[in-house]
Homo-oligomer: A and B are copies of this chain.
Amino acid sequence: MNDAITLTAPLTEAAESDQDVLARGCCNLAPNSLQIAEDDATRLAAMFKAIGNPVRLQIIDMLSRYGGQACVCDVESLFDLSQPTISHHLKVLRKAGLIDSEQRGLWRYYFVRPAALQELQQWFGEMLTVRNQ
């Protein structure tokens, strides 16, 4: 699969011929090609990993539309999963810093932490703008 190689982004040196490439050789890595700190990479990856599950992604989607008044049984009603499993996914999202919760009477209400979503959105912004250098 994916046989048809279509460049969605122009290569840096599109004019560079194959011969040039071969002459230049490989592995001439520019300095500081890894600009993101390992700590940041780990922290961001943990957040992405939390979203990287269909159920949890849908929970984020649902919570973001629900603006902070969703209890566990609300979330539960959307999926064909047991209550402990929903509780588990909520915990994963909370530990990643993507959501938070608040107790109200007998129920615990969950809500998205916009700051976390913004940070991730911003990361894509960097990836899309800081190209070549």
Give A contacts to B, CB under 8 Å.
Answer: 2, 5-13, 18, 21-22, 26-27, 29-30, 33-36, 38, 41-42, 44-54, 56-58, 60-62, 64-71, 73-74, 77-78, 94-95, 97, 100-102, 104-107, 109, 111-115, 117-118, 120-121, 124-128, 130-133
Contacts and interface: CB of A to CB of B under 8 A. Distances in A.
Given A105-B18, A105-B21, A66 B127 contact: no
Contacts of A41: 54, 57-58, 61
Contact of A46 (B52, B74, B102, B131): B52
A101 B111 CA distance: 39
A39 B118 CA distance: 24
Given A2-B100, A12-B68, A118 B111 contact: no
A120 B124 CA distance: 8
Contacts of A51: 45, 48, 52
Given A36-B58, A57-B41, A127 B117 contact: yes
A127 B8 contact: no
A74 B26 contact: yes
Contacts of A36: 57-58, 61
A117 B11 CA distance: 17
Contact of A124 (B10, B33, B70, B121): B121
